[in-house]
Structure 1
Amino acid sequence: MRSGFISVKFLKLESNDGIVENSQNMLSREVDWTLLSFENGTASPTIWLDFGNKVTGFLYVELEDSSSGSLVYEYGPTLDSMFYRKTMPMPANNVLTLDGSFVALRYLKLSLASESPFPYSCFAKIRRIGIRDSSYPALYKGGFESDVPLWNDIWQAGAYTVQLCMQPSEYSYAFDYTLTSEKKAFVRDWRNPYSKYVIWDGPRRDREAWIGDVRTEALLIYSAFGAYEVAKSTLALFYDLQNTAGIVPGSATSGQDFKEYNLWWLASVWECYLFSGDKAFLAYIYPGIRRLLEWIFYSVDDRGFLYNDKGWMWTFPRQGYNGATQCVLYFALECAEKLELTMDNTESAEACRVLREEIKRNINAEFWDEAKGVYFDTIHLANLQTFVPSDINCYATVFGIADTARTERVLDYLKNNMWNEFGSTTIDKKIRNVVFTPEHKKQLAMYFGEVKDEDAESILWTHNKQIWPFIVAYEVEANFIAGRTEDAFALIEACWGNMLGQDPGTFWEFVDAESGEFSTNIIMPGSRHDIMGSACHGWSGWVAYLMQAYVLGIKPSKAGFAEIIISPQLGVLRKVSGSLPTPHGIIKLSIEMDEARLQLSLDCPDEVAVHYEISASMLSGRTLEIVRNKQRIIV
């Protein structure tokens, strides 16, 4: 848990033409002030500060005394990305300043400024500086530990990344200057019965709830914090934004309408019920489920496919009947079938089952490349119709669209054609000589103004064989499901282990595939908005959920943890322990394995039924011993 005031550490100082006295004093409550001063017309002294990790909230400065002039803050997530600057007048009472602007940063550079044309001494005596934390005050009820510190650190960084994306809804949207007054009022005033916090994509950019991101982040929020109320709040937000046709927006504040993201809401509602067991919440939101299902059945074609009428979701332009969207539709309908059965609507549940089976047949008939052993997909460019992306292949294997034989071929293809030392790339080959369609140029105009053909490749560079942990995590899950434990571990270490060793300490939106670094290049060069890559992105943190669900091996199989399945995959590890919050209490599990023995020690509420699925590779001649609540139940 971390909330309240976040202190900062001294990094370095540059006196320049000024004076710095007692530079460490402002970092402690117990001692006197730090002095910064310079003569107007010369270079101000500068102090560099480090919060030790990414933090969010409001800059706070307490002054003993000051001259006229301004305090200047420059900040960013890394030392190479100090692109953000705020200038604040010295406070009139020389006692306290509280900057009302939301910030997300790790490093802070503090200096002084004077706009006076006359010579004088500009100074500030700073008693205290820090951040008033804004993130959800999470209790880490769940956890993961092993005999190898790297994996423990990856879990902690993933959980912390997602915690920083749990923020009060009233602070939403980095681009609020683009909003209408009506939308600004909605952001400021929206309330719900569950929580004031919602799930953002990232705390700097976009500071917005995106339902495709929410699905992955919520899984970790349940497993690490048991914070069901934050997920309910976010799902209720999208419910309130659902239009009369039944469509849920892809993004809550900017209101971008992606037909694929619309589908993730169904999956997220089911998973919220699966983990929380809160049928009252399900009943509350059920009218929205019915409206969305009616829209789906009205909108699909005779193959069961849904048309995307927008140019992109999270990746390349995907307008049309692309295969990745049909995979998400299949999964959404599987979740909808379970929701309808829960609500005793057997007729609708059966309709969902029939439609998704039709979709599954047609995906395999239309998007499978037998020669390559992989699924291809469509891309909406003027000079290219098909390509091999990771998303359709990951979705097809994780959601059960691909059979066992195809799953093995797909995972071999991804490993052989997309893996590098930093993870797995978005596509198998870079796309060259990109030409946008006229429709897509119109859609991009809201960001760039006029878009020319020569701009196309630079605009798409971030997805052109780059590494996006969001989809890499689906590939990790696919490998776990297929029993390819070594490959799952190798991908986690390559992608998240690489980020872990770099600033700011949280997991990024995407990784530069060539350098393995956090890119300080603008995601879409020429854009009117601040869209440098996000150094703290919740969809990259959900790998921590996969470690609890597949390495520790605990997953709910009935709503509200009435029943769980324990099926661990230890891979390179020999000792693993962890915990998982449930509505009945916390489940704790420790596993030890050597050449002769496999021992599981479980502390679990009596209300939870447990099924064990221990793989042959985990047993492999070992004696199995299971202890539940200190009673040996199997040897």
Structure 2
Amino acid sequence: MKYFTFLICLFFLTNTFAQKVKTGNERVTEYVSANRVLWKAGLVKNEAQLLKTGTGQADVSNKSICILENKKEGKASILLDFGKELQGGVQIVTGIWGGNKPIKIRLRFGESASEAMSDIGGKGGATNDHAIRDLETVLPWLGIAEIGNTGFRFVRIDLVEEDIKLVLKEVRAIAKYRDLVYQGSFNSSDTLLNKIWKTGAYTVQLNMQDYLWDGIKRDRLVWVGDLNPEISTINVVFGYNEVVPKSLDFAKNTTPLPEWMNGISAYSMWWIINQRDWYYHNGNLKYLQEQQAYLTPLINQLIQKIDKDNREKLDGQRFLDWPSSEDPKAIHAGLQAMMVLALQAGGDLSTKLGDLSTAKKCTDALIRLKKYIPAHNNSKQAAALLSLAKLLDAKQANQVLSDGGAKNFSTFFGYYMLQAKANANDYQGAINIIREYWGAMLNLGATTFWEDFNMDWTKNAGRIDELVPDGKIDIHGAYGAYCYIGFRHSLCHGWAAGPTPWLTEHVLGISVVEPGCSVVRIKPNLGDLKFAEGSFPTPMGLIKVKHQKMADGTIKSIIDAPKGIKILR
């Protein structure tokens, strides 16, 4: 019986993943078979063969093959769905055909089904920016080709030449990612929240490549502001990972002062906040000391950007997030608050480093900054930051954030809007927003969270995992603005993962008080949940909690923490 159970488990594993190859420092390459043929055109035979678990090896039998053939009646094409967002390319194993010559195909990757069906520069504005996702290439006779390096879920293959027959044995996705244990966890009485937590974690995991990217299709860059929700997610899901200091160092080493990181003044401030968050979770004083030669002059540079009226006068690109980018009053308010948050973090780190002189400069600058409180201009971005910087009453800020529910939320700054709602003790309101806003992406077929999202887009929208039916709107191709118009829009963007750390911090109630997680506060806020449980990685091991709401509304908690961690309640 045990042997039979073993065989069943082995069958499941081999039919889920054809092959997993370790490549060092936890990075793997995995070969994944498609789970459905979503569409085909022209002469396509035995396409079900492409859904079988492959071996990655060509053979001379020419049995169990799929055939695409171009005749006068039309050209052959097929669209494969690999079931979830992946980062990498595709492996194609071919069979035998007459003439022994290579055959030309057109290959298209898509994060949505409609993107895989689109043309570069055509309707929806598909692009090859940052990663080539639409190309012509040739396949070998009786051989193997591995093609592509982008973010995708769908792959379309078109046979290009006239009067030609292509014999396919296998088409498998090449998934490249860090094979990490989800040390952190979240489970509650709400299955939607549980799925949202895991989706945020997976979104960030895919972006943990050589460096910590913003998106796996676009931009595939180290944007320092984007790192903040990603680092927060890594802290609560994976604990320490070398991709974080590697990326923070990359940003530092490619930005000599007085330049701003990524050309954006706020992003240099995010670098300071990221360093503080990373140090508090991991407690690596040696690494922090390595940052001091850059940190101290950056702090001094920021202080010089306060004018005589105690207002920020930051230069460089003045940017919070894209939806607020056309509101200069909101940007000014947000940057004033960012100055407060960054100098609070900088002063704290300077104290930890024993640099009391710089710490005092931060304290003096903070006194000045708090004398001037700009208007939020009814911007949810500005109101959230002003609340977190304690420049605006938390309940007043929450009135702005609550207006219209998820309307005018954004994927990046939605994290700070949720934090500001928690600041006002509106935990239920934040939970409702998470369900409404991030849940809507899942309802549209998302397996990772998107670069941007607007609740107005949901009206009459088709799902991203289907070809858009007549009368429905293509949510991927039809919408977007700024850098994410149409199919250029990234559907796997790490800055959108904010609900994952938020649910851990505020529903499980786990927050770090002292560096290295030596002191941790546990204060759950269940809202309408009946229970919530989970784990939290620390340098000393896992904290495990289980919170149960009792009949009288009180919460009974069971906490298991490693020795050496002081728990505050």
- The bucket for the TM-score relative to the shorter chain is 0.7 to 0.9
Q: How far apart, CA to CA, are the structure 2 residues paired with 1:108 and 1:555?
A: 42
Matched, 1:483 2:490: no
How far residue 26 of structure 1 moved from its aligned partner, in angstroms, is 5.4
Task: Identify if the C-alpha distance between structure 1 residues 204 and 357 changes in structure 2 by more than 3 Å, giving closer, same or farther.
Answer: same
Instruction: Give the % identical residues.
Output: 20
Letter in 2 for 1:90: V
1:522-577 Cα distance to aligned partner (Å, 9 max, x none): 6458x899972211111111211000000001011000000000011001111111
Question: Equivalences for 1:505-520 in 2 at 5 Å?
Answer: 505-516=447-458, 518-520=475-477
Give the aligned partner of residue 521 of structure 1: 478
Please name the residue that 2:348 is paired with.
Answer: 338
Task: Report the CA distance between 1:353 and its aligned residue.
Answer: 1.3
* Separation (CA, whole Å) in 2 of partners of 1:68 and 1:113: 12
What is the match of residue 322 of structure 1? 332
| Cα separation, 1, equivalents of 2:318 and 2:274 | 24
User: What is the CA-CA distance between 1:22 and the residue it aligns to?
Assistant: 5.0
Aligned to 1:273: 279
Structure-2 residue corresponding to 1:503: 445
Q: 1:272 to 1:562 in 2, by over 3 A?
A: same
Matches within 5 A, 1:12-411: 12-16=38-42, 18-21=43-46, 23-25=48-50, 27-29=52-54, 32-66=63-97, 68-82=102-116, 83=118, 86-92=134-140, 94-99=142-147, 101-114=148-161, 120=163, 122-168=164-210, 198-245=211-258, 247-250=259-262, 257-302=263-308, 303-310=310-317, 312-315=319-322, 316-317=325-326, 322-363=332-373, 367-368=374-375, 375-376=376-377, 388-402=378-392, 406-411=393-398
User: Structure 1 residues 109 and 351, CA, compared in 2 at 3 Å: closer, same or farther?
Assistant: same
Structure 1: segments with no counterpart, 5+ residues: 169-197, 251-256, 369-374, 377-387, 426-466, 613-635
- Evaluate the alpha carbon distance shift between residue 34 and residue 356 of structure 1 in structure 2; reply closer, same or farther with a 3 A threshold: farther
When structure 1 is superposed on structure 2, of 24-33 and 260-269 the one drifting more is 24-33
Q: Which moved more, 1:4-13 or 1:481-490?
A: 4-13
Opposite residue 391 of structure 1, the aligned amino acid is Q
Equivalent residues of 1:70, 1:89 under 8 A apart:
yes
Distance 2:318 2:536 in 1: 39
CA displacement at 1:127 relative to structure 2: 2.1
Letter in 2 for 1:34: I
Quote the Cα distance in structure 2 between the aligned partners of 1:62 and 1:545.
41
Matched residue of 1:424: which SS?
coil
Residue deviations 1:295-347 (CA, integer Å, cap 9, x gap): 11233212152323436452324669811111111100000011001100112
Offset, 1:45: 2.5
Residue pairs, 1:552-563, within 5 angstroms: 552-563=508-519
Q: For the Cα contact (< 8 Å) 2:397–2:420, is it kept in 1?
A: no
Please state how far the C-alpha of 1:132 moved relative to its aligned partner. 1.9
Query: Residue 58 of structure 1: SS of its match in structure 2?
Result: strand
In 1, are the aligned partners of 2:484 and 2:490 still within 8 Å (CA)?
A: no
**CA–CA distance in 2 between the matches of 1:248 and 1:333?**
16
Cα 1:284–1:204 shift into 2, 3 Å: same
Secondary structure of the 1:328 match is helix
Q: Which deviates more, 18-27 or 494-503? A: 18-27
Q: CA deviation at 1:86?
A: 3.3
Task: Tell whether the 8 Å contact from 1:552 to 1:577 is kept in structure 2 after alignment.
Answer: yes
Distance 1:491 1:348 in 2: 40
**1 or 2 for the larger relative contact order (CA 8 Å, sep ≥6)?**
2
Query: Separation in 2 of the partners of 1:4 and 1:558?
Result: 39
What is the CA-CA distance between 1:242 and the residue it aligns to?
2.3
Match of 1:588 among 541, 544, 549: 544
**Partner Cα separation in structure 1 for residue 139 and residue 388 of structure 2:** 56
Distance 2:29 2:298 in 1: 38
Q: State the SS of the aligned residue for 2:216.
A: coil
* Alpha-carbon offset, residue 581 of structure 1: 0.8
Distance in 1, matches of 2:41 and 2:182, equals: 42
Question: Residue 34 of structure 2 aligns with which residue?
Answer: 8
Instruction: Note if contact 1:312-1:318 (Cα within 8 Å) is conserved in structure 2.
Output: no
Note closer, same or farther for the CA distance 1:229–1:68 as it changes in structure 2 (3 Å cut). Answer: closer
Give the C-alpha shift of residue 606 in structure 1. 0.6
Rounded to whole Å, the distance in 1 between the matches of 2:555 and 2:257 is 55
Structure 2: unaligned runs, 5 residues or longer: 1-25, 56-61, 119-125, 127-132, 462-474
> Against the structure 1 CA distance between its residues 301 and 395, is the aligned structure 2 distance closer, same or farther, given a 3 Å change threshold?
same
Aligned length: 500
Match of 2:436 among 494, 503, 509: 494
Tell me which residue corresponds to 1:445: none
Match of 2:407 among 424, 431, 437: 424
Shift in Å at residue 88 of structure 1?
A: 4.2
Structure 1: distance between partners of 2:191 and 2:449? 17
- Does the 8 Å contact 1:158/1:542 carry over to 2? yes
**3-state SS of paired residue (2:177):** coil
What CA deviation, in whole Å up to 9, does each residue of 1:407-427 have, x standing for no partner? 2122123323xx25xx130xx
Report if aligned partners of 2:257, 2:298 keep a CA contact under 8 Å in 1: no
Contact 1:34–1:125 (Cα < 8 Å) also in 2: yes
Indicate the residue corresponding to 2:416 in structure 1. 474
Deviation string 1:147-168 (CA, Å, 9 cap, x unpaired) is 2211111101111111111112
Q: What is the distance in 1 between the residues matched to 2:291 and 2:173?
A: 37
What letter matches 1:61 in structure 2? I
Letter aligned with residue 306 of structure 1: K
How far has the Cα of 1:584 moved from its partner? 0.5
The answer as to whether partners of 1:59 and 1:103 remain within 8 angstroms in 2 is: no
What code does the residue aligned with 1:94 have?
L
Inter-partner Cα distance in structure 2 for 1:3 and 1:592: 41
1:573 to 529, 547, 559: 529
Letter matched to residue 580 of structure 1: F
**TM-score w.r.t. length of structure 2:** 0.82
- Could you state the TM-score of these two structures normalised by the residue count of structure 1? 0.74
Once residues 313 and 337 of structure 2 are traced to their aligned partners in structure 1, the CA distance between those partners, rounded to angstroms, is 10
Cα distance in structure 2, aligned partners of 1:151 and 1:524? 28
Give the residue type in structure 1 aligned to 2:394.
T
Cα distance in structure 2, aligned partners of 1:276 and 1:51: 36
Cα contact 2:44–2:69 (8 A) shared by 1:
yes
